[in-house]
Amino acid sequence: MHIANPIEVDATNEDKETALMYVVRQGNVAMAEMLLKAGSNLQAFDNNGDNVIKWACFGQDATIGMWSAKDNGPVHNCVTGT
């Protein structure tokens, strides 16, 4: 499929939150993985100085924390540099 007008994966709202921050906070692992595959930035910060790593640890759903902390998980790799 060809998308004529691709979207900016790291577009932000008025609080500088990215889509990845939002879906991680909501515990949506499938969407988080899709955004990461599309190149979403794990190191972006919102207006409060929070990033996706913070929301993975303190979001509304424990599943995302377990997903992000697993060995070779995308957030784990970002934190550990592996």
Query: Is this prediction's pTM over 0.85?
Result: no
**pLDDT tens digits, residue range 23-81?**
888 888 888 888 988 889 888 999 999 988 888 777 665 556 556 555 555 555 454 44
User: DSSP of the chain, one letter per residue?
Assistant: ---SS---TT-B-TT--BHHHHHHHHT-HHHHHHHHHTT--TT---TTS--HHHHHHHSS-HHHHHHHHSTT-HHHHHHHT-
Name the CATH superfamily for 19-80: Ankyrin repeat-containing domain (1.25.40.20)
Q: What integer pLDDT is reported at residue 57 of this predicted model?
A: 73
Domain boundaries, the chain: 19-80
